[in-house]
Amino acid sequence: MNLAIITTWVWLAFEIGLRVRDRLRGIGSTADDGGTRVTIGLLVAVAMTGANLAAIFLPAESPLRFPGPSLPWLVAGIALMWLGFAVRVWAITVLGKHFRTTVEVDAEQPVIDHGPYHWIRHPSYTGILGITVGFGLASDNYVSLLLTTVIPTYALLRRIALEERTLVEALGTAYETYRESTKRLVPGVW
């Protein structure tokens, strides 16, 4: 589990770096994000803290533990965390100067439909879910997996609803057309 926690700290440092980058660039106003950035941060922290506590305090023989040895679950979880992190970095890199940790759209921003955006509209959020769900798997119990799946998904869906409205208002028909041809978070599924 220590490697999952180290991975979480690496991700946290990356997220802090994104906010520092926004500040240095003079962007990242939370005026239009409806408190979603704070909500996401808090709810993800609650979910992962709860998952970690469940992993620590559930007895090894608990029926709430995953079947079989814990090592395969740990390896699968950490792999999913790093895959999620890679997807998030890829999405941010493709958006480039248009990426924000807040809900803002640049006046000259085009609809980005290449890289991970070719398959899904919100790959950076898919990356976050990969990280949190991976943490739940690495925790080797159903309680942790439930916490790290449901709570972050709820927080991100609130943000996505707001972001989609903002993108339609700012980018118009081009974004609506793109939205009709791509899934929200899971390629080919949803």
Domain ranges for the chain, please list them: 2-181
**What is the rounded CA–CA span in Å between residue 33 and residue 85?**
23
Asked whether 151 and 117 are in contact (CB, 8 A), the reply is no
Q: What is the pLDDT of residues 102-152, one digit of tens each?
A: 998 888 899 999 999 999 999 999 999 999 999 999 999 999 999 999 999
Q: What is the pTM of this model?
A: 0.94
List, in order, residues 6 or more apart from 175 with CB less than 8 Å away: 111, 167, 168
pLDDT over 90 percentage in the chain: 86
Domain 2-181 classified CATH 3.40.30.10? no
